[in-house]
Structure 1
Amino acid sequence: MTHAPHAAPTVAGRVLWVDASAGVAGDMLLGALVDAGVPLDVLQAAVDAVIPGSVRLTAATVTRAGLRATKVEVDVLVDDPPHRTWSTIRGLLGDADLDPAVRAAALAAFARLADAEGRVHGVPAEDVHFHEVGALDAIADVVGSCAGVASLGAARVVVSPVALGSGTIDAHHGTLPVPAPAVLELARGWDVLAGGRGELATPTGLALVTSLASASGPLPAMRVERTGVGAGTRDRPDRANVVRIALGTEAVVPPHADVRTRQEPAVVLETNVDDLDPRLWPGVLARLLAAGASDAWLTPILMKKGRPAHTLHVLADPLAADALRELVLAHTTTLGIRTSTVTKDVLDRAWVSVDVPLGAPRESSPVRIKVGHRGGVVVQAMPEFEDVAALADATGVPVAQVLTAAHAAAAGARLLAGVPWDETQTPAVGTSSADDAATR
């Protein structure tokens, strides 16, 4: 039996960033790992532990759009069956002499693939028959990549927004749109972009990065120790067909450091209305917020012939814009809506529940605190007014006194501007999406 090497111990503060902005495939990730210094023998030993004597890995230096990169070829040495079931692959991984961390990562990647394929084809994940992704070269991609990442000892992995591509491809089930159905299913919950024409992300590649990574995001603040560039098969003239990785130690951001806020795309919907019963406006705003608007507000204006009116403004995620337009058209008298694209600079946000004592014989009651933070430092901390008002109503204590007590409780919990933010703070229970949207 082939014995795979043990994974390296995880090093606190070590982070691996995967740049998939040009797309991602399993062989591209293998190439980036080898280029970053992972011995090819480490990957080969892990693959041989699962499918001994079936695949040979080779590495060579190539160029992609003028950039140097490492291309790992996966040569299949035996006849390969047309497909394998998820249970067959799970059995191969379970029986292999793999490091537990590598086995767990490979199982997670294939489980994501099985769930995605099952959802696309309307069958239980257990009944999924893998075709392209069940082949020996795909098994080598997954197991080798998981072994390579484990050998780096990163405490966490972050992946950039992934380029998925556009157009169509020919697959086992015929001509499919790009992103392919399974790829789009695997992308749920992750930051993606089209990135160009053609298939830029394969199901295997996307399953790997989304199972290995804990978050989407740009390059983390770090001291870079190693870099690697892995090549895809095609050499495209319009972009370098590569995956890049960077391994390093996360930088400790000192308090009050000038850290940029996070940027998010957004749209603003606007319309001028001069003939709506003003008593209806509070309900309109409430409906928009409940439907996912980040914010909604009115501006008094003066229209032609001196008519008083209002401009309705709705700030929203671009994906929610269509539904919000329908609400505006249905619940106001407008005949048209203006749409503009904006960029929001936002603080990272969290909710923390604190106990607010109101004096004997009353017991303390919880109030949620909205916390805005960046770079590991609290920037704002504000009691949720609805909680304050509800507590005042329940106890008979004036709202102003409850608000003062809530501010004091937040200060006691070190939820103050300029104080280091503790990422382990327990989130408040029952925070709704509407509550979170209102903080945007």
Structure 2
Amino acid sequence: MTVERPGRTAWIDAGAGIAGDMLLGALLDAGADPGAVRRQVAAVVPDEVEIEVGTVWRARLRATRAVVRSTAEEHPHRSWADIRRLLGGSTLPQPVRDATLAVFGLLADAEARVHGVPVDDVGFHEVGAWDSITDVVGACAAAADLGLTEIVAGPVALGSGRVRTEHGDLPVPVPAVLELSAGWPVSAGGEGELATPTGMALLRGLAGRSGPMPAMTVDRAGYGAGGRDVEGRPNVVRVVLGAPDRSPAAPATEELVVLDTNVDDMDPRVWPGVLRELLDRGAADAWLTPILMKKGRPAHTLHVLARPDLAGTLRAFVLRATSTLGVRQTTVTRHALDRTWTQVAVESAPIRIKLGVEDGRIVHAAPEYEDVAALAADRDLPVRQVLEAAVAAAAAAGLHPGTPAPAG
């Protein structure tokens, strides 16, 4: 059996602010492979950028700085719709692609609200520039390379004063950062622009919740530097990595929201794309229920499960993407098993096995369907046959309910 690196917990300390290059530098400083990050960035914007990684000091504290430099004579103007197509056609691993789409979706929605334009038309430097694409893809790739399965972030310092932008002289925090800060604990924290739109979108897209450092056995910490060296205050983002506390505990509990709406007048061929886009934008789950409405009309109820901070963004998307005139919202409590991943070999190819774990023991073990479908297509085999082989391989590897979960 081939086992992936065990799941890790990360805590992001943004008490000095956050920017995309700072978070990328912190993740690299914490042990992410620069070569893997560069390859995945090149899969999206080939021959456009290079990433230089070096050591710097900020207020006498050592840190890693990731500097993104252009290697192209000119870069195309890209809207959010262009970036979605760019990512969809790339060879990024699915988890990295999903995380990148979620981060850019948050950023595009915030910029669209600020500027009063349709979200697909958003096309200015915060979303479309090569350096923002590099920061977002790079940070998502670094998080995946580190095997992070839980990310928590603390309060964010936004800064104060004013800053010069391509839209003119703006107050700090700039409007897009304020949009992305909704529902998250923040403070001024100092003079100047301490949090950028890209940095806030990465934090909101990658971190599942805000809070103090979670219980963990600390592995190491990484420090990522910004471009400024501020006297008396290290201008860095800190990332603390560790093994999650595996002491016996009840399934994790969190407050989520469910968005519901009934639709009886929409072409059913549209639904698969709507569900896929909701997941890309950060929904925890999205599904349809067939119903019978008044006057005997067949219809569907769309259900969207999401974190409360994403409710506004997802609700706005549902109102744009479907023919509904209104959306209901309900607060729910979810009790979830710990989840981790391991691999088995089928036809000499790796297939991920998702494990539901409680008190360190397996409750459920299931093959990842996307891996099964990809292998079936590659070897011209029935999906059913590959799925059965993956289940048998998991059983042969000892991945049974009640047995200890693999530790690495």
CA drift at 1:51 = 0.5
CA drift at 1:220 = 1.0
Match of 1:135 in 2: 129
Task: Report the Cα distance in structure 2 between the residues aligned to 1:31 and 1:106, rounded to whole angstroms.
Answer: 17
CA drift at 1:11 = 3.7
Task: Report the Cα distance in structure 2 between the residues aligned to 1:351 and 1:54, rounded to whole angstroms.
Answer: 45
Match of 2:61 in 1: 67
Task: Report the Cα distance in structure 1 between the residues aligned to 2:248 and 2:120, rounded to whole angstroms.
Answer: 49
Equivalent position amino acid for 2:188 in 1: A
Equivalent position amino acid for 1:200 in 2: L
Task: Report the Cα distance in structure 2 between the residues aligned to 1:120 and 1:200, rounded to whole angstroms.
Answer: 19
The answer on whether the counterparts of 1:182 and 1:203 sit within 8 Å (CA) in structure 2 is: yes
Match of 1:250 in 2: 244
Report the 3-state secondary structure (helix = DSSP H, G, I; strand = E; otherwise coil) of the residue aligned with 2:232. Answer: coil
Match of 2:26 in 1: 32
CA drift at 1:201 = 0.6
The answer on whether the counterparts of 2:80 and 2:127 sit within 8 Å (CA) in structure 1 is: no
The answer on whether the counterparts of 2:126 and 2:198 sit within 8 Å (CA) in structure 1 is: no
Equivalent position amino acid for 1:59 in 2: V
CA drift at 1:130 = 2.3
The answer on whether the counterparts of 2:218 and 2:241 sit within 8 Å (CA) in structure 1 is: yes
2:154 counterpart of 1:160 = yes
The answer on whether the counterparts of 1:82 and 1:131 sit within 8 Å (CA) in structure 2 is: no
Equivalent position amino acid for 2:150 in 1: R
2:187 counterpart of 1:193 = yes
Question: For 1:234-264, what per-residue CA distance to the aligned partner results, in whole angstroms no more than 9, with x for missing partners?
Answer: 0010310001101111224578xxxxxxxxx
Match of 1:325 in 2: none
Task: Report the Cα distance in structure 1 between the residues aligned to 2:233 and 2:248, rounded to whole angstroms.
Answer: 37
Task: Report the Cα distance in structure 2 between the residues aligned to 1:188 and 1:9, rounded to whole angstroms.
Answer: 36
Match of 1:357 in 2: none
2:95 counterpart of 1:94 = no
Find 1:117's aligned residue among 106, 111, 116. 111
Task: Report the Cα distance in structure 2 between the residues aligned to 1:242 and 1:145, rounded to whole angstroms.
Answer: 15
Question: For 1:167-212, what per-residue CA distance to the aligned partner results, in whole angstroms no more than 9, with x for missing partners?
Answer: 1101111011100000000111212111111000110011001100
Alpha-carbon spacing, 1:253–1:136, altered in 2? closer, same or farther (3 Å)? same
Q: Which runs of 5+ in 1 are unaligned?
A: 1-7, 256-349, 353-375, 377-440
Report the 3-state secondary structure (helix = DSSP H, G, I; strand = E; otherwise coil) of the residue aligned with 2:106. Answer: helix
Equivalent position amino acid for 1:131 in 2: H
Q: Based on CA coordinates, which of the two structures has the bigger radius of gyration?
A: 1
Find 1:84's aligned residue among 74, 78, 83. 78
Task: Report the Cα distance in structure 1 between the residues aligned to 2:248 and 2:6, rounded to whole angstroms.
Answer: 21
The answer on whether the counterparts of 1:83 and 1:132 sit within 8 Å (CA) in structure 2 is: no
TM-score by length of 1: 0.55
Alpha-carbon spacing, 1:169–1:9, altered in 2? closer, same or farther (3 Å)? farther
Report the 3-state secondary structure (helix = DSSP H, G, I; strand = E; otherwise coil) of the residue aligned with 2:161. Answer: strand
Task: Report the Cα distance in structure 1 between the residues aligned to 2:27 and 2:122, rounded to whole angstroms.
Answer: 30
Report the 3-state secondary structure (helix = DSSP H, G, I; strand = E; otherwise coil) of the residue aligned with 2:43. Answer: helix
Alpha-carbon spacing, 1:235–1:82, altered in 2? closer, same or farther (3 Å)? farther
Question: For 1:345-393, what per-residue CA distance to the aligned partner results, in whole angstroms no more than 9, with x for missing partners?
Answer: xxxxx989xxxxxxxxxxxxxxxxxxxxxxx9xxxxxxxxxxxxxxxxx
The answer on whether the counterparts of 2:48 and 2:75 sit within 8 Å (CA) in structure 1 is: no
Equivalent position amino acid for 1:77 in 2: T
TM-score by length of 2: 0.59
Task: Report the Cα distance in structure 2 between the residues aligned to 1:84 and 1:57, rounded to whole angstroms.
Answer: 21
Segment drifting more, 127-136 vs 107-116 = 127-136
Alpha-carbon spacing, 1:80–1:21, altered in 2? closer, same or farther (3 Å)? farther
Task: Report the Cα distance in structure 1 between the residues aligned to 2:5 and 2:29, rounded to whole angstroms.
Answer: 21
Question: For 1:138-162, what per-residue CA distance to the aligned partner results, in whole angstroms no more than 9, with x for missing partners?
Answer: 1000000000001111221001101
2:230 counterpart of 1:236 = yes
Task: Report the Cα distance in structure 1 between the residues aligned to 2:76 and 2:84, rounded to whole angstroms.
Answer: 17
2:129 counterpart of 1:174 = no
Task: Report the Cα distance in structure 1 between the residues aligned to 2:247 and 2:229, rounded to whole angstroms.
Answer: 39
Report the 3-state secondary structure (helix = DSSP H, G, I; strand = E; otherwise coil) of the residue aligned with 2:132. Answer: helix
Find 1:210's aligned residue among 204, 223, 234. 204
Report the 3-state secondary structure (helix = DSSP H, G, I; strand = E; otherwise coil) of the residue aligned with 2:189. Answer: coil
Task: Report the Cα distance in structure 2 between the residues aligned to 1:118 and 1:72, rounded to whole angstroms.
Answer: 28
Match of 1:388 in 2: none
More RCO (CA 8 Å, sep 6+) = 2
Match of 2:97 in 1: 103
Equivalent position amino acid for 2:201 in 1: A
Match of 1:335 in 2: none
Equivalent position amino acid for 1:34 in 2: L
Equivalent position amino acid for 2:158 in 1: L
Alpha-carbon spacing, 1:42–1:197, altered in 2? closer, same or farther (3 Å)? same
Report the 3-state secondary structure (helix = DSSP H, G, I; strand = E; otherwise coil) of the residue aligned with 1:143. Answer: helix
Task: Report the Cα distance in structure 1 between the residues aligned to 2:146 and 2:184, rounded to whole angstroms.
Answer: 24
Task: Report the Cα distance in structure 1 between the residues aligned to 2:108 and 2:5, rounded to whole angstroms.
Answer: 28
CA drift at 1:126 = 1.3
Equivalent position amino acid for 1:17 in 2: W
Equivalent position amino acid for 2:25 in 1: G
Matches within 5 A, 1:30-429: 30-81=24-75, 83-252=77-246
Match of 1:261 in 2: none
Task: Report the Cα distance in structure 2 between the residues aligned to 1:142 and 1:92, rounded to whole angstroms.
Answer: 14
Equivalent position amino acid for 1:224 in 2: V
Question: For 1:330-351, what per-residue CA distance to the aligned partner results, in whole angstroms no more than 9, with x for missing partners?
Answer: xxxxxxxxxxxxxxxxxxxx98
Tell me how many residue pairs correspond in the alignment: 251
The answer on whether the counterparts of 1:69 and 1:231 sit within 8 Å (CA) in structure 2 is: yes
Task: Report the Cα distance in structure 2 between the residues aligned to 1:10 and 1:157, rounded to whole angstroms.
Answer: 16
Alpha-carbon spacing, 1:9–1:195, altered in 2? closer, same or farther (3 Å)? farther
The answer on whether the counterparts of 1:221 and 1:250 sit within 8 Å (CA) in structure 2 is: yes
The answer on whether the counterparts of 1:22 and 1:240 sit within 8 Å (CA) in structure 2 is: yes
